[in-house]
Amino acid sequence: MSLLLFLEQTLNGLQLGVTLFLMAAGLTLVFGIMNMVNLAHGSLYMIGAFFAASFTQWTGSFFLALPLAILSTFVVGVLVEAIALRTLYSRDHLDQVLATFGLILFFNELTKIVWGPISIFMDVPPLLAGRVELIAGAPYPVYRLAVLGVGLAVALGLWWLIARTRLGMLIRAGASNREMVGALGVDISRLYMLVFGLGAALAALAGAMAGPIYVVEIGMGDAMLIKTFVVIVIGGIGSIRGAFVAAVIVGLVDTFGRIVPAQLGLPTAIAEMAIYILMAFVLFFKPTGLFAARA
């Protein structure tokens, strides 16, 4: 592998990594704080992308569409939490799996009704079109760099929120012992709703930014969801830091897993399997992930 290819793929891997982090950050908190399995998180990613595509069409600007899409998905997330998920927190995991599996079917079909079955191709916003030569001889798309930058900025913002604010303190406390937080007089149901809404907004951001890179289509969230699970399990449920580290690792492994085996003459079957092998390996030695929030 040439050095240029290596650098380009590293950037690709990091960019996939931050996208995965945006998905994983919200979901790992839902898992950790509410002890809730939510399979429908990928649907929020998809809805965010579809909203972004429509708002871009209506407003003519991707940059106007992005906050609108995030806000709309936030509202969808809070509504889903209030209507369907709230009653599931006290149920066992199997109930949660079934109910949120039902939500996936519902959202995939609803999206098909609203937007039609045809995939939408979003254009890269003109301001971020083109390529830039970060490294001489290896022009890299500006848009992908922007996604990477936004992802890192959000990660930093989240770190600040979690580590430095009162809300963050409550979230951290909730992740390690939610009964205690409730007993101390915190309005747990409002905290849950906020965390869920935050997760939905982050998923929407990830989906909306992924729109111009990949393609906006029904079920686009499902594949992303499972990779997000891998990230969360490797990082340790309930840990934002774990989610970040694992997201970067998974992003890089997934990206290089598609190139390295072919170059070494290994079977390409390893490409899609690489991250699952990694996960099995990590869990064999650390069954609760790298940075488990709950010891």
Partner 1 sequence: MNALKLDRRTWFVIVLLAALAVLPLVAIATDNDYQIAQFRRILIFAIAAVSLDLILGYGGMVSLGHAAFFGVGAYIVAILNWHAAREVPLFGMMLGTHNVLVTWTAAAMLSGALACLIGLVSLRTSGIYFIMITLAFAQMVYFFFVSLRAYGGDDGLRFPGDTVVLGVIDTENDVAFYYLVFGILCAVLYATRRLVNSRFGLVVQGCRENERRMKALGFATFRYKLACFTLAGALAGFAGALFAANESYISPSIMHWTRSGDLIVMVVLGGMGTLIGPVVGAVAFLFLEKTLPDYTEHWMVVFGPILLLLVLFARRGIFGWFLPKEDRHGGGH
The residues of the shown chain that bind partner 1, judged by CB under 8 A, are 31, 35, 37, 84, 87-88, 91, 93-95, 97-99, 101-110, 112-113, 222, 226, 229-230, 232-233, 237, 267-269, 271-273, 276-277, 279-280, 283-284, 287-289
Q: How far is the CB of 243 from partner 1 (least distance, A)?
A: 13
* Residue 140, strand partner residues: 132
What is the total residue count of the chain? 295
Q: How far is the CB of 230 from partner 1 (least distance, A)?
A: 6
Q: How far is the CB of 231 from partner 1 (least distance, A)?
A: 10
Nearest to 276 by CA among 259, 254, 258: 254
Token representation of residue 185: 């007089």
Alpha-carbon distance of 171 to 167, in angstroms, equals 6
Alpha-carbon distance of 82 to 228, in angstroms, equals 24
> For the chain, what percentages of helix, strand and coil (3-state, to nearest 5) are there?
75, 5, 20
Rounding to the nearest 10 degrees, give the CA dihedral for residues 47, 147, 150, 273.
70
Q: How far is the CB of 11 from partner 1 (least distance, A)?
A: 25
Q: How far is the CB of 92 from partner 1 (least distance, A)?
A: 8
Give 144 or 178: the residue with its C-beta nearer to partner 1. 178
Q: What letter would DSSP give residue 216?
A: B
DSSP run (H or E) holding 54: helix 41-59
Q: How far is the CB of 166 from partner 1 (least distance, A)?
A: 27
Token representation of residue 8: 């380009």
Residue 115: partners with Cβ closer than 8 Å, 6 or more residues away: 50, 53, 54
Give 180 or 280: the residue with its C-beta nearer to partner 1. 280
Residue 23: partners with Cβ closer than 8 Å, 6 or more residues away: 41, 42, 45, 202, 203, 206, 224, 225, 228, 231
Give 91 or 164: the residue with its C-beta nearer to partner 1. 91
Give 125 or 261: the residue with its C-beta nearer to partner 1. 261
Q: How far is the CB of 160 from partner 1 (least distance, A)?
A: 27
Give 205 or 246: the residue with its C-beta nearer to partner 1. 246
Give 163 or 280: the residue with its C-beta nearer to partner 1. 280
Residue 145: partners with Cβ closer than 8 Å, 6 or more residues away: 11, 15, 132, 134
Give 86 or 241: the residue with its C-beta nearer to partner 1. 86
